[in-house]
Structure 1
Amino acid sequence: MTATTQRPAPPVHPRGFGALRAPGLVLAAAVAATTLVATVDPNQPGHYPTCPFLAVTGYYCPGCGSLRALHDLAHGDFAGAVARNPLMVLAAGGLVVAFVLWTRRLWRGLPRTWVAPPVLLYGLLTLVLAFWVLRNVPGWTWLSPA
């Protein structure tokens, strides 16, 4: 008597509208957050908490100015958003592209086949750290969110 080995069936990924539950929830949360920041002006004091890093050290963190940049983007002021936090504008663009690719992959029922290589992750970390340092260098006021 010989034992037969059967391979397990490959996982079936849902396709179409059934696969879009998670992207739909993410999109709803993003629209709600953007609507809140668009309607409640972060340029007016008292609406949002102060950056804890700025409050303790007096230096800008990489995220300082992000709410004001998002507010400007929501109102169509791209130049104002870049002036507040150019890194946030780049990150927002990257997140939109990643969201579209994720939704497209799920719609087609394809498995995830790509993972970010370490060099990309280290590159992003280096970019954020360099931005953090450079926006606090005297004379580089063009990177400050003020």
Structure 2
Amino acid sequence: MGQCRTNSSSWVETNAPFGKVNEWRDETLWESRDKSKDKYYSDKPYYGIKGVQRISNKYIAAGCVVFMLAGAAFHFVVVKQSSAKALEVLNQVDQESTNWYLETRRKARASSTSEQIERLSKEWEANDKLKK
């Protein structure tokens, strides 16, 4: 393998013939920096905020994972609470409907057909008067 050295400390390995190397180099990469200036910048704020030093990417990634786990736990709790509340409301509606059905059935059995027809006729007349 041929090696090509430049003025800086970076180099590229390639299997191109000697002298025919097209070196690819990106000056924005951390590895391509001028390491002699590291001590000059070590006391300077990394994020532009005085007193805040550079944070390792591992800590940032760990913080993101913790944030995601906390968000997932919060989401789980909220969904669980919402589901429990909805179930409680549905059970209450079911109980009211069951009570209404049982009361209607009890009234139907307690009176004759003619009494039921008379009661319904009175309810319809009352509803018609309210509409007018």
Same fold (TM over 0.5): no
Larger relative contact order (C-alpha < 8 A, sep ≥ 6)? 1
Q: TM-score, normalised by structure 1?
A: 0.23
- Structure having the larger proportion of residues in strand: 2
Q: TM-score, normalised by structure 2?
A: 0.25
